[in-house]
A and B are shown apart, each in its own frame.
Chain A
Amino acid sequence: MDNNAILNVAHLNIKFGGIIALKDINFHVPRASITALIGPNGAGKTTVFNCLTGFYKGGPGSKLTLSSKNKSNNLVEMLGEGFKLQDFINPPAFVKRIYFKMFGGTHLVCRAGLARTFQNNRLFEEMSVVENLLVAQHMSLEKSLLKGVFQTKDYLESQERALDKAHDWLKFFKLDKRANDIAGELPYGEQKRLEIARAMCTSPELLCLDEPAAGLNPAESAELSELIIRLRDEHRISVLIIEHDMHLVMKIADHIVVLNYGEVLFDGTPAEVRNSSKVIDAYLGKE
């Protein structure tokens, strides 16, 4: 286990019905770096993402550790695992298990500091751009019903803070002119950027981007890669990115993990990946 890593993935496996989608995936994401997850279609990239972000539960033995917000978070436990035999002789573990069964779930992963975007945009299309960003800041807003109804000072202050933060990120992603537009009416490229901005509003330490450049034109794509680099350099965000655009990947990634048939095929720097015969075979087929 690498102590400097923000995310450690160990023995991640998952089955759907009888099909083994992932078997024993191991890799780590170093802090404040850009790690790319690449591989041919159907290699299991998005499945890895869904396991990391808590939409799928990894199979037995999977261990996902996120070292963020000054502690080490067990991402599998948060989803509410089934009871184990040793829980019944260990009351604290039992209580914890029940707690996660009742209140656990995907949302805890995000609260631990891991935010994600989706391959197909999942914006709140009928809400305005600012509102999209405010929803993402739900946890830090003043939520007391009474304070909200009576519009107390701390309620208004917390709303003001949230608006400021939203506008900071809008400016960062060059969306500030769109603040009060309906999200669903933005052009595709802006929707993609808005989704990243929304993820950033949850104050993550690790950002997982699922094909952020898909469907963008070369200019937009270049702009996006610059923004991702700025996220790493200016905000010390660690980024895990799935992308098919190899130019973009080779340009921005510090570290690349190659998946094939649900297994890690190769793990190294862009230069190493470019020269690896294994990776070339997987992509182009063996001669």
Chain B
Amino acid sequence: MDLHIFIQQLVNGLVLGSVYGLIAIGYTMVYGIIGMINFAHGDVYMVSAYLSAIAIALLSIFGIASAPFIIFVVLIFTIIITSCYGWTIERVAYRPLRGSTRLAPLISAIGMSLFLQNYVQLSQGASTQGVPNLIKGNLRIGEGNDFVQITYAQGFIVISAIFGMLILNFIIQKTSMGRQCRATQQDRTMAGLLGINTDRIISTVFVLGSAMAALAGVLVTLNYGTFDFYIGFITGVKAFTAAVLGGIGSLPGAILGGIVLGMSESLFSGFINTDYKDVFAFCLLVLILIFRPSGILGKPEVEKV
């Protein structure tokens, strides 16, 4: 085993993992608050990838060439509009079903996911899209053929992901809104009795989760440059795996799970087999759910009789 390849895969895994972590936050927050998987979350991420490409193209029409300015505007634009998508999803596919059977919101969320995929496919075309490379250059450590390469784009992803998580953590831990979110997560009925507008809090959680997915979408678009309307599905399931791995309902768990999953997937495809890397992630999901459903940081669920 070559050390430099190993380190290179770890770096790639860290980058991939921070993206998974960002998306996993959306799953974990929604699950924490309403106890359901938001099946449309992967597609929110997919929509945000399109939005960021559209924003980049839009700015180039106005002849703006400064990369930091473009990235800043693209981030704001994408996060705002994606958050609107998150809000609408909750409003259309979840809120009317509150108090319904357990299966109903699951099915409507899958319907929403199908709708979003097809909607983007119909309006933007089925072909793979791309954006120009905005963050050029890289850092090489090592000599000759044995080197580890970190592109600036990768560095940017990790730093922005950390930054995004810090902001989210601040919102959840320090603001009044965050306190209401945490209260609603612990006991929705009681929070409602204490005058918290739980419907609004649930909407907020969808919006925050979508904003994180939007951040992930922008970062992935900037780094890899290509995407299509189908990316939300596989990435969504993997991000969910990350959320479960870290312990669903736990924010630090989502990030940790994302990084662990990203690194192990990266090592798997680097040293064992690239074709089966998705199979590896799915198998990991199944194994965690069988043997440790509470994940790394999650609390075990006590069944209510």
In the complex, A touching B, CB below 8 Å? yes
> Are B302 and A50 touching (Cβ within 8 A)?
no
For residue A150, CB closer than 8 A to chain B, the reply is no
> Are A118 and B299 touching (Cβ within 8 A)?
no
> Are B302 and A118 touching (Cβ within 8 A)?
no
> Are A55 and B299 touching (Cβ within 8 A)?
no
For residue B305, CB closer than 8 A to chain A, the reply is yes
B-contacting residues, A1-49, CB 8 Å: 16-17, 46
> Are B305 and A17 touching (Cβ within 8 A)?
no
A225 to B254, CA, bound (A): 53
Residues from chain B with a CB closer than 8 A to the CB of A50 are 305
> Are A16 and B305 touching (Cβ within 8 A)?
no
Interface residues on B, range: under 10
A16 to B304, CA, bound (A): 12
Shortest distance from the beta carbon of B304 to any chain A beta carbon, whole Å: 10
Chain B facing A: main interface SS: loop
A199 to B36, CA, bound (A): 32
Question: Chain B 267-305 against A: per-residue CB contact (8 Å), 1 yes, 0 no?
Answer: 000000000000000000000000000000001001101
Residues from chain B with a CB closer than 8 A to the CB of A55 are 303, 305
> Are A17 and B303 touching (Cβ within 8 A)?
no
Residues from chain A with a CB closer than 8 A to the CB of B303 are 55-56
Residues from chain B with a CB closer than 8 A to the CB of A17 are 299
Shortest distance from the beta carbon of A100 to any chain B beta carbon, whole Å: 17
Shortest distance from the beta carbon of B282 to any chain A beta carbon, whole Å: 23
Residues from chain A with a CB closer than 8 A to the CB of B305 are 46, 50, 55-56, 118
Shortest distance from the beta carbon of B194 to any chain A beta carbon, whole Å: 21
Residues from chain B with a CB closer than 8 A to the CB of A118 are 305
Residues from chain B with a CB closer than 8 A to the CB of A16 are 302
A16 to B303, CA, bound (A): 11
A-contacting residues, B160-211, CB 8 Å: none
Shortest distance from the beta carbon of B152 to any chain A beta carbon, whole Å: 45
Residues from chain A with a CB closer than 8 A to the CB of B299 are 17
A17 to B302, CA, bound (A): 10
B-contacting residues, A128-167, CB 8 Å: none
Shortest distance from the beta carbon of A199 to any chain B beta carbon, whole Å: 15
A46 to B302, CA, bound (A): 14
A55 to B302, CA, bound (A): 10
Question: Chain B 210-254 against A: per-residue CB contact (8 Å), 1 yes, 0 no?
Answer: 000000000000000000000000000000000000000000000
- Tell me the nearest residue of chain A to B299, going by C-beta: A17
Shortest distance from the beta carbon of A123 to any chain B beta carbon, whole Å: 15
Residues from chain A with a CB closer than 8 A to the CB of B302 are 16
A50 to B302, CA, bound (A): 12
Residue from A46, A55, A118 having most chain B Cβ neighbours under 10 A: A55
- Tell me the nearest residue of chain B to A55, going by C-beta: B305
Shortest distance from the beta carbon of A28 to any chain B beta carbon, whole Å: 23
B-contacting residues, A182-219, CB 8 Å: none
A46 to B305, CA, bound (A): 9
- Tell me the nearest residue of chain A to B303, going by C-beta: A55
- Tell me the nearest residue of chain B to A16, going by C-beta: B302
Shortest distance from the beta carbon of B299 to any chain A beta carbon, whole Å: 7
A56 to B299, CA, bound (A): 16
Residues from chain B with a CB closer than 8 A to the CB of A46 are 305
A-contacting residues, B57-93, CB 8 Å: none
- Tell me the nearest residue of chain B to A210, going by C-beta: B305
- Tell me the nearest residue of chain A to B305, going by C-beta: A55
A17 to B301, CA, bound (A): 10
A16 to B305, CA, bound (A): 14
Residues from chain B with a CB closer than 8 A to the CB of A56 are 303, 305
Residue from B302, B303, B305 having most chain A Cβ neighbours under 10 A: B305
Shortest distance from the beta carbon of A98 to any chain B beta carbon, whole Å: 15
A118 to B305, CA, bound (A): 8
Question: Chain A 43-81 against B: per-residue CB contact (8 Å), 1 yes, 0 no?
Answer: 000100010000110000000000000000000000000
Of all A-B residue pairs in the complex, the 9 with the closest CB atoms, nearest first, are: A55-B305, A50-B305, A16-B302, A55-B303, A118-B305, A17-B299, A46-B305, A56-B305, A56-B303
Pairs across A and B, CB under 8 Å, 9 listed = A16-B302, A17-B299, A46-B305, A50-B305, A55-B303, A55-B305, A56-B303, A56-B305, A118-B305
Q: Footprint of A on B, CB under 8 Å?
A: 299, 302-303, 305
For the A-B complex with A55-B305, A56-B303 known, give 7 more contacts whose Cβ atoms are closer than 8 Å.
A16-B302, A17-B299, A46-B305, A50-B305, A55-B303, A56-B305, A118-B305
